[in-house]
Amino acid sequence: MLERSVSILCTCFIAFFISGILGCTRLGPDYQRPDIGVKIPASFENTTGASGFGKLHFGLRWEELFPALGLEKIISELRNRNLDIKIAAQRVIQARLQLKQVGADRLPKANLNMEAQRQEKPITGIFPGGSFSTKTDSFVLSGAASYELDLWGRLARSTEAALAQVLEAEENRRTLELTVEAEVVSRCVKMAIIKRRISIAQKRIANQDKTLTTVERRYKRGLASLMELKRAKSALAQARAAVPSLREEMARTGQELSFLLGQYPRRRLVGKIGPEYLDLLGEVPEGLPSKLLLRRPDVRAAEHRLRALSAKIGVARANRFPRITLTGTYGYTSGDLEVLIGPGSKLWSIAAGLVQPLFDAGKLKAVEEETVARYNQGVAEYAKTVLNAFLEVENALVTRKEQLERRKMVLEFLREARDAEELTQKRYKRGLTDYLNLLDSQRTRFGAEDSLALVDLAILTNRVALIRALGGGWN
């Protein structure tokens, strides 16, 4: 009869467990993506036409978007060694372990209890004027299980929130990874352009040195004044003075790159890219669809954060309802260890408990209302994140458009400056113009060369910013 009763009780316990898993009611709202209250166009404002996009690819290969810079090895090293990425990866692990902890609350808990006790108690009053003591042994071997029926979905909503927080941590890691990769590529581009500017400065030095030689010969022949000679020497010194600051900028940028790669700050070597480098890059397609922003990791992280806040409303609401807990114990107890496990030593118990908050001065209601307010705050933050994403893309697109237009003008300026320098050089050698005109034409020409390098840097840096703003390019 005892065995049958225990079997029935165990069956009831399992039935309650299954019903708790499958049949609970989830209080609180089911998540739906909110309307941010802003009309989003099908494509970005600063692109035109239709681009015929197919399936969006989420992989990002910087070495294909910026060839000839050796980025494949650098990006691989970055992903393995960057300290910020490692920190973000550990946050993901922490979120996963928190999910595991929350999920464990939905399952029964079982414990094994083993106890051995020896007790001595004095006995008085049996014999007048005397007393004695007795020693007793007690041995217990039992297993206990407990399970909370999740009738209102409190534990289910907690698991839902924890899962959303894991996904948020993953997207935050991707956001950081994309940001750091963009910083590294920007620095590689900057170093390549600085190397080009150093080359321009060195050409200017060689040109001024050659001009000084010409002026000295003319001075010795009485065809140039002492003032022209001094100005030629001054121009050479000025050209030489420009190089150290460029080398300093190159070294500092290389040290920053090493730091991002998790290495000791040191100088790094990169290749030089010329004016023709932009022709090697693929064009940014026209008609970029606005749905590209749905893959931006910070936008996805903001939505996962909102999903977690929505689930926490259900947790707070369920906390105001009764909690039902089932507990059961089965085992053996005896005063003799040799007969501990036997039919005459069995013990068992099964119980159900209910806890219902009656009076807490409005605390649980206030907690629920606070959770709703946090969700509403999250909706505003999500809308802000989405609008900021569109702002970054539109800024990058308009900057790209204007910088490309500016480059056309600088190229025209450079062509005219070269022609003017060549003409002035010939006229100076024939004595048809003075040195000031020659010096001005040389400065204009090399200034145009340097301006073109700076425009190319702005265009390439903007390309990196556009790729990051789109969440990983447009392919």
Cβ(295)–Cβ(56) under 8 Å?
Answer: yes
Alpha helix ranges (H) inside 123-225: 154-220
Q: Which two tokens stand for residue 294?
A: 């749905």
Amino acid identity, position 53: F
As a CATH number, domain 1-26+109-123+132-149+326-355 is 2.20.200.10
Q: Which two tokens stand for residue 341?
A: 């496990």
The CA angle 380-383-385, to the nearest 5 degrees, is 110
Edge-to-edge strands, sheet with 131-149: 109-124, 131-149, 323-334, 346-355
Amino acid identity, position 11: T
Distances (CA, A) of 99 to 1, 304, 371, 418: 43, 14, 20, 67
Q: Where in the chain is the domain with CATH 2.20.200.10?
A: 1-26+109-123+132-149+326-355
Q: pTM for the full model?
A: 0.81
Indicate the DSSP class of residue 37: S
Residue 93: the pLDDT is 95
**Strand ranges for 81-218 from DSSP E:** 109-124, 131-149
Indicate the DSSP class of residue 292: G
Element (H, E) at 349: strand 346-355
Residue 333: the pLDDT is 81
Q: Which two tokens stand for residue 90?
A: 């550990």
Cβ(147)–Cβ(108) under 8 Å?
Answer: yes
Cβ(196)–Cβ(457) under 8 Å?
Answer: no
Please give the Cα distance from 129 to 136 (Å, whole number).
24
pLDDT digits (tens, 9 = 90+) for 346-387: 888 888 888 888 888 888 899 889 999 999 999 999 999 999
Q: Which two tokens stand for residue 363?
A: 């605390």
Task: Determine whether 49 is exposed, middle or buried from the number of CB atoms within 10 Å of its CB (0-12, 13-18, 19+).
Answer: exposed
Pick among 1.10.10.10, 3.40.50.2300, 1.20.1600.10, 1.20.1730.10: CATH of 31-106+152-321+365-469: 1.20.1600.10
Distances (CA, A) of 137 to 117, 120, 143, 459: 6, 9, 20, 86
CB atoms within 10 A of CB 39: 5
Cβ(459)–Cβ(189) under 8 Å?
Answer: no
Q: In the chain, which stretches have pLDDT less than 70?
A: 1-24, 45-60, 123-132, 336-340, 474-475
Residue 58: the pLDDT is 45
Q: Where in the chain is the domain with CATH 1.20.1600.10?
A: 31-106+152-321+365-469
Closest among 208, 275, 223 to 438, alpha carbons compared: 208
Residue 414: the pLDDT is 93
User: To which residue do tokens 């008085």 refer?
Assistant: 124
